[in-house]
Structure 1
Amino acid sequence: MAPMVGTLSFFRDAEWLSAARARAVMLVLAVMLPLLAIVWIAMSSGGIDPAGHPIGTDYLSFWTAARFAASGDPQAAYDIAAHHGAQIAQAGLDPGYAAFFYPPAFLLALLPFGLVGYFPSLILWLAGTFAAYWRTIRAWAGGWDGSLLALIAYPAVLLNAGQGQNGFLTAALFGGGALLVERRPWLGGALLGALIIKPHLALVIPFALLFRGAWKSIAAAAISAATISLASLLLFGAETWQGFFGGSALARETLESGLVDPAKMQSLFAALRLWGAPLEIAYALQLLLFAAVVAALALVARSGAGNRAQGAAMAAGALVSTPFLLDYDLTLAAVPLSWLFLEARRTGFLPWEKLALGAAFILPLLSRSLAMNFGLPVAPLVLAVLFLLVVRRARSEHRHAAVDVDGLTRDVAALAAR
């Protein structure tokens, strides 16, 4: 019995995962990951990496779409033949088609980046969105002096940068909006509403705000989403929106038929499809999980948890809820990771927190490889555990605050009696 107890404690308390060891791992990753990126770029030739893809990979889809918009032909972004042809022309070879399934609202955000050449545009895109991301995560980390090291070491940062994706932007909008809901509700809601550029990442937001009674933020989010969409409609025309809706069938087929390998995705839906589950079962279980997340967010709101706690739970829940989630989207996990770590430093680690923090931090580095090479999609489990631990801490936050206030009241009363 004793060995079993010892094994459980090894994982539950993770005393071996000391601050010094965690910092050593981060230092190794902070050096190794950028060095690998530099070597990979140095091995590239003519803008094509050793794997035969253009540097920036997915950004080629964004840039060609932005180029169409800047030249007055935005609907071509949703014309597969035209869009693919433009990618081939830029790359000088056929890198394989990278579709543009995003709504014209995202095309509106990309428009300025289509005014310059591909590589200057890629650099501006990554630098600008990373700056917003860094500022957001630093705020969530409470100005912790190790936050920059942790962010450089966080593998999702390199994955997003390497693929030229929008994970920095969406995490900045989500994290910044969640942080501001209480103090500046109109601005916070407006940032959350801007996630209309990637709506499947925002599925839980309306429920979380509704449970909190954050009516100003709800109104601001609705106005923001509507304004951005209307602006894109006026600027790009109805034909562009028709092209977007016309491509929705291909987007759905991409998810359901494995046009994007399920092993590359991080959701429960993808894990079930990887294991051969029927489509209906995968959808049903993903929907049940979504309902469970919404219910948990209602409990967090009802518990009276603070703004940061509820924002962290909302971000963690967003990662668990959507069926379409790729590893670069794990940039958003830095929000609940930062909050959970900050609270653990303040009050001490609760059971399983050290292990969950370590596993979620390293997840983007390993999840795709484990799924593709060994059929082990670990991301849904790790993200679900992270969500549950955030919910546990968030729900207990109000009780701890009440105990602290009661204790302070007793101390004041005792001093007065003297």
Structure 2
Amino acid sequence: MATLRDAEWLNGTRARVYPRLLLAASVGLALIWIVAARGGIDLAGKPLGTDFLSFFAASELTLQGRAADAYDVAAHWAAQKALFGPAVGYSAFFYPPPYLIVCLPLALAPYFVSLIVWLAATGYAYWRALRACAGPRLDAAVLLAFPAFLVNAGHGQNGFLSAALIGAGALWLERRPIVAGLMFGALVYKPQLALMIPIALIASRRWTTFAAAAVSAAALCAASYLTWGEAVWRGFLDASPLARAALERHLVGDEKMQSVFAAVRLLHGPLALAYCAQGATALAAAAALIWLQRRDFRGSSEGPALVAATLLASPFLLDYDLTLLAFPLVYLAREGLERGFAPYEKSVLVLAYLLPLASRILAGGLDLPIAAPTIAATLYFVARRRPAGPAPAAPLIASAES
């Protein structure tokens, strides 16, 4: 228990060396996976970038003047098969029409060129947001070795983009409230990650940011409607039952999900219990944000707490969405190095850092869902931090040995 409580083994040297070893292993694994692919199909029989195929096919259909077909399974799947052959599995497109604005230029370049540009551009935005959160002396190896980087890149997903929008918005709440609102509003393309934002903004009385977010979301919805008409929105609404079925009927895989809902289903709980547990968790996360504002109004933990609460609130949360978890982790590491770590805090940091690597393995192999309790513990340590005002920039890894 003392080892877990104090985690004295995690000193400065280990905190620098272990991430570098993990980063080297991650890069090596990625290179082997890419080299072993044949015709762009990896060892698992899926295209490299997997989920990016959904975005690319939606872009092709949209550029052909068939935007509504992105929500037609037969047409969307046919576009995917045209790229990688008839044996390719289907990658669904559950996103609202504003996401078509993001996807639109993807098919202007060949698939693999587009995939590289997509990951580089969104990954750089994510990096910049994290660097701004942690300060200029951020240890790059600690950030790049965070397993969510590899998970999101391997899927070709939008986890970098979502995390950059939420992380940058949370960081700019005080200095650039309108820009923060525009960032939050852009999450209309992935609304399940925006559930806590209105609650957090109301609790902190950030009315300018709230209004900017509403305008941003409305503008993106209007732009998609004016560009592609009613048909694309009708197609999205008609296809929405498939997204619900994917959540409720294990079509995505409960072991891949990181939510309380998925944990209950993984443990063979009934659907009603899963929804009740998820609702209770979302209410608890919202209550934590409100309590935090009463305790430390607009304090330094406001943004990290919002990010952690966001991860707890959504029932549809996949492992690549854990890119968001880096923001509260950076905050806790920075605060701990500046002001000392609370009992068990370093152990929770290590567990949360490795969560994107371990969660699917433990859930799929042992029916052991650890994501939700780990994220909840992260939110707990963020919220319990003593009020200290805006935290100064600090290096993620201390120069001292302990």
Matched residues in 1 for 2:148 and 2:98: separation?
Answer: 25
Distance of aligned partners of 1:123 and 1:400 in 2 relative to their CA distance in 1, 3 Å threshold: closer
Q: Which of the numbers 200, 211, 219 marks the counterpart of 1:219? A: 211
Identity of counterpart residues, as a percentage?
A: 48
What's 2:307 paired with?
315
1:367 deviates by 0.6
8 Å CA contact 1:181–1:307 kept in 2: the answer is no
Q: Which of the numbers 372, 375, 397 marks the counterpart of 2:387? A: 397
8 Å CA contact 2:300–2:387 kept in 1: the answer is no
What's 2:17 paired with?
24
8 Å CA contact 1:305–1:398 kept in 2: the answer is no
Q: Which of the numbers 98, 107, 110 marks the counterpart of 1:117? A: 110
What's 1:13 paired with?
6
8 Å CA contact 1:179–1:308 kept in 2: the answer is no
Matched residues in 1 for 2:135 and 2:168: separation?
Answer: 13
Q: Which of the numbers 373, 384, 398 marks the counterpart of 1:381? A: 373
1:47 aligns with 2:40: yes
Matched residues in 2 for 1:118 and 1:238: separation?
Answer: 29
Amino acid across the alignment from 2:85: G
Amino acid across the alignment from 2:350: G
Local SS of the residue matching 1:337: helix
1:364 aligns with 2:356: yes
Matched residues in 1 for 2:389 and 2:105: separation?
Answer: 48
Amino acid across the alignment from 1:54: P
1:333 deviates by 0.4
State the structure with bigger RCO (CA 8 A, min sep 6), 1 or 2. 2
8 Å CA contact 2:299–2:390 kept in 1: the answer is no
Counting only pairs closer than 5 Å after superposition, residues 15-414 of structure 1 correspond to structure 2 as 15-146=8-139, 148-393=140-385, 396-398=386-388
Structure number with greater Rg is 1
Matched residues in 2 for 1:31 and 1:96: separation?
Answer: 31
8 Å CA contact 1:59–1:122 kept in 2: the answer is yes
Matched residues in 1 for 2:217 and 2:323: separation?
Answer: 22
Local SS of the residue matching 1:276: coil
1:22 deviates by 2.1
Local SS of the residue matching 1:263: coil
How big is each residue's C-alpha offset from its partner over 1:7-48, in whole Å with a ceiling of 9 and x where there is no partner? 2x2211111222211222101111110111001000001111
How big is each residue's C-alpha offset from its partner over 1:177-236, in whole Å with a ceiling of 9 and x where there is no partner? 111111111011110110001000110000000000000000000000000110011111
What's 2:400 paired with?
none
8 Å CA contact 1:266–1:380 kept in 2: the answer is yes
Matched residues in 1 for 2:106 and 2:164: separation?
Answer: 18
**Structure 1 residues not aligned, in runs of 5+:** 1-6, 402-418
How big is each residue's C-alpha offset from its partner over 1:340-360, in whole Å with a ceiling of 9 and x where there is no partner? 111111111111110011000
What's 2:397 paired with?
none
8 Å CA contact 2:204–2:297 kept in 1: the answer is no
1:399 deviates by 8.7
Matched residues in 2 for 1:254 and 1:132: separation?
Answer: 30
8 Å CA contact 1:76–1:82 kept in 2: the answer is yes
Higher helix share: 1
Amino acid across the alignment from 1:252: R
Amino acid across the alignment from 1:255: L
How big is each residue's C-alpha offset from its partner over 1:119-178, in whole Å with a ceiling of 9 and x where there is no partner? 1111111010001000000011122331x1112100000010010000000000000111
Distance of aligned partners of 1:397 and 1:253 in 2 relative to their CA distance in 1, 3 Å threshold: same
Distance of aligned partners of 1:362 and 1:92 in 2 relative to their CA distance in 1, 3 Å threshold: same
1:400 deviates by 11
Amino acid across the alignment from 1:384: A
What's 1:416 paired with?
none
Local SS of the residue matching 1:301: helix
1:306 deviates by 4.2
Amino acid across the alignment from 1:75: A
Distance of aligned partners of 1:333 and 1:400 in 2 relative to their CA distance in 1, 3 Å threshold: closer
> TM-score under structure 2 normalisation?
0.95
The CA RMSD over aligned residues, in Å, is: 1.3
Amino acid across the alignment from 2:60: R
How big is each residue's C-alpha offset from its partner over 1:308-342, in whole Å with a ceiling of 9 and x where there is no partner? 41000000110111111111000000111111111
Q: Return structure 1 stretches of 4+ with deviation > 4 angstroms.
A: 398-401
Matched residues in 1 for 2:16 and 2:350: separation?
Answer: 11
Local SS of the residue matching 1:38: helix
Local SS of the residue matching 1:264: coil
How big is each residue's C-alpha offset from its partner over 1:266-315, in whole Å with a ceiling of 9 and x where there is no partner? 11110100111110011001101110110110011112244541000000
Matched residues in 1 for 2:389 and 2:234: separation?
Answer: 51
**Structure 2 residues not aligned, in runs of 5+:** 392-402
8 Å CA contact 1:190–1:224 kept in 2: the answer is yes
8 Å CA contact 1:306–1:397 kept in 2: the answer is no
Matched residues in 2 for 1:317 and 1:346: separation?
Answer: 24
Matched residues in 2 for 1:252 and 1:306: separation?
Answer: 36
